Amino acid sequence: MLIDYKLNVMTKLYTFGEMKQLLNANAENIFANSPVRGFSIDSRTLKEGDLFFCISGENTDGHRYISQAMEKGACGIVANPENIPERLDKLDLPRILVPDPNHALRKWAADVRLQFDGKVLAITGSNGKTSTKDILAGLCRFIDPQSYSTPENFNNFIGVPLTILGADPEAKWWVIEIGTNQFGEIAELSKIVRPTAGIITNIGESHLEYLGNTAGVAREKSDLFAGMSPGNNVVFPDSLLHRQQVEDAAKLAGIRITKTAQISADFPECSRKFRLFEEEFVTSIGSPLLRQNLVLALTLLQLEGVPVSQLQSATSVLDLTVKGRFQQIDKADWILIDDTYNANPSSFQSVLENLNKMFPERRKIVVCGAMAELGDSSPEFHRQVGETMVKCCVEKLFGLGGTEIEFYLEGWKKGGGKPNAAKHFCELAELLISFKEELRKDDVVLVKGSRSAKMERFVEAME
């Protein structure tokens, strides 16, 4: 059901009575002083004694799994009384009754956050949220090994509350990723998270099906300020799209903005050394995109009072190998770049530009799937990416999927790419046969697509 990753680390013990009062709920068959020692939203991973939240998601509803939860030893349920199956409603189930269990979970998380007196660093943006979160968390763990961060990409209405409810209350730093695909989501999550500082990685063509255009994306990302206090720091790149719009929103909220272009940061190609804060840093991170995210993280921590010498040491030992996020896999005589985690037009174009800078002398191949949630602009965005492939010296294109792949090919041809060097495949097996026939020594192969394209299948086949 819903999520197969279970969090049940409690930052404090709540009693059933406290939960009832916090959630402004009715309750039946409970002992007010009995402690809530753990919780679950997934009947499959629930442990004996857990409180079961009957949350609903895109594919199912937790109320359907009450029987399974009780059979596994749940101490009670948080449920909407109207959705409890009739055959169970008459049983003496310990229950906390609320109109919306999802909202109850968020309200509980908000109360837990209020009890934390460390620093909470929030990250949002169209691209690079998770990699920046991993970089920032890695730096924070050098300072405080107990530092806690969002697991995987738990960045939505369900994931953010789970992140907070699973956080270590003794940590000095919480690093929390906040995502969105609809207006109002970041504002509500920010009010739960209450960031003490934050990063906006970029503004791009993400979730346009719901947010309309990049100005809408900027408006939604600016809602990070909704849960922040005047004087808090937020860092973003000087090249941020709709920068003025974001700066205006920050000024209205009293947020202190720092743009990374104001800091001296130099990344020579193929160099692991760079200058920042007028000092030399050494990093094992090779991707220019990830190194820019590193600058954002370092800048935020410097603003938050971490000494530069400590940041230099943390950077020198930072190990960032994130599966599916520009992960370089060195094969016997060629290179595979696994960037299959997700894709939108701005991230795809940035990756192509950086791929060309990193490997100017090598033949470059792109194996790609479609980009999702682009609305009516989807055909044109796919054409633009196809053109960018040619501009960035990609010599072969292997597309896997439906109609969107034809738009890649149209852009490829418009950009001057050789027609017979771009191919459309509907089945992975056919693509693999053709790809293996055309692969050469020293090739660099980028694999990318939206989550729905499941391009990791190609990477797994190659491994």
Residues in the chain: 463
Angle at 76 (CA atoms; ends 72, 82), nearest 5 degrees:
110
Nearest to 10 by CA among 47, 43, 44: 47
Q: What is the DSSP string of 224-271?
A: GGGGPPTT-EEEE-TT-TTHHHHHHHHHHHTPEEEEGGGS-----TT-
Could you give the residue ranges of the DSSP H alpha helices within 359-402?
378-391
Reported for 99-104, long-range contacts at CB under 8 A and 24+ positions apart, including other chains, are 101/53, 101/54, 101/55, 101/56, 101/62, 102/55, 102/56, 102/157, 102/158, 104/23, 104/25, 104/53, 104/78
Residue pair 192/160 in contact by the 8 Å Cβ criterion: yes
Residue pair 63/85 in contact by the 8 Å Cβ criterion: yes
Distance CA 128, CA 293 (A): 7
Per-residue pLDDT, averaged over 221-227, amounts to 97
* 368, pLDDT greater than 80: yes
The model's confidence at residue 346, banded by pLDDT at 50, 70 and 90, is confident
pLDDT of residue 264: 43
The model's confidence at residue 155, banded by pLDDT at 50, 70 and 90, is very high
* 70, pLDDT greater than 50: yes
The model's confidence at residue 271, banded by pLDDT at 50, 70 and 90, is low
The model's confidence at residue 6, banded by pLDDT at 50, 70 and 90, is very low
Nearest to 36 by CA among 52, 23, 24: 52
* % of the chain with per-residue pLDDT over 90: 70
The amino acid present at 48, given as its one-letter code, is: E
pLDDT of residue 210: 72
- Give me 333's structure tokens: 């005589």
Tokens 């055909």 belong to residue: 379
* 211, pLDDT greater than 80: no
* 263, pLDDT greater than 50: no
Nearest to 166 by CA among 368, 9, 325, 377: 9
* 435, pLDDT greater than 80: yes
The model's confidence at residue 88, banded by pLDDT at 50, 70 and 90, is confident
Angstrom distances, CA of residue 359 to CA of 65, 69, 221, 289, 442: 52, 53, 33, 14, 10
Name the 3-class secondary structure at 279.
strand
- Burial bucket for residue 252 (CB in 10 Å: 0-12, 13-18, 19+): exposed
Name the 3-class secondary structure at 280.
strand
* 99, pLDDT greater than 80: yes
pLDDT of residue 12: 64
Provide the β-strand partners of residue 367.
398, 447
* % of the chain with per-residue pLDDT over 70: 95
pLDDT of residue 323: 72
Distance CA 225, CA 233 (A): 10
Nearest to 381 by CA among 364, 365, 368, 394: 368
Provide the β-strand partners of residue 15.
35
The model's confidence at residue 261, banded by pLDDT at 50, 70 and 90, is low
Comparing 73-77, 89-93, 363-367, 387-391, which segment has the lowest mean pLDDT?
A: 89-93
Per-residue pLDDT, averaged over 168-196, amounts to 94
Distance CA 338, CA 307 (A): 34
Angular region, 25: left φ>0, alpha ψ -120 to 50, beta rest: beta
The model's confidence at residue 118, banded by pLDDT at 50, 70 and 90, is very high
Query: What mean pLDDT is reported for the chain?
Result: 90
Element at 337 (helix H, strand E): strand 335-339
Distance CA 129, CA 199 (A): 9
- Give me 82's structure tokens: 């109207």
Q: Decide which of 102 and 88 is more confident.
A: 102
pLDDT of residue 322: 65
Per-residue pLDDT, averaged over 192-199, amounts to 98
* 164, pLDDT greater than 60: yes
pLDDT of residue 205: 77
Residue pair 279/251 in contact by the 8 Å Cβ criterion: no
Angstrom distances, CA of residue 254 to CA of 110, 203, 370: 22, 21, 40
pLDDT of residue 198: 98
Q: What is the pTM (predicted TM-score) of this model?
A: 0.79
pLDDT of residue 1: 37
pLDDT of residue 68: 94
The model's confidence at residue 222, banded by pLDDT at 50, 70 and 90, is very high
Distance CA 373, CA 341 (A): 15
Comparing 3-12, 54-63, 157-166, which segment has the lowest mean pLDDT?
A: 3-12
Domains of the chain: 14-102 (3.40.1390.10), 116-317 (3.40.1190.10), 327-462 (3.90.190.20)
The model's confidence at residue 270, banded by pLDDT at 50, 70 and 90, is low
* 266, pLDDT greater than 80: no
- Give me 27's structure tokens: 């309750």
Q: What is the pLDDT of residues 370-380, one digit of tens each?
A: 999 888 889 99
pLDDT of residue 326: 82
| Rg (alpha carbons) of the chain, rounded to whole number | 24
pLDDT of residue 342: 84
Nearest to 342 by CA among 378, 379, 369: 369
Nearest to 199 by CA among 287, 121, 279: 121
SS (H, E, C) 51-90: EEECCECCCCEHHHHHHHHHHCCCCEEEECHHHCCHHHHC
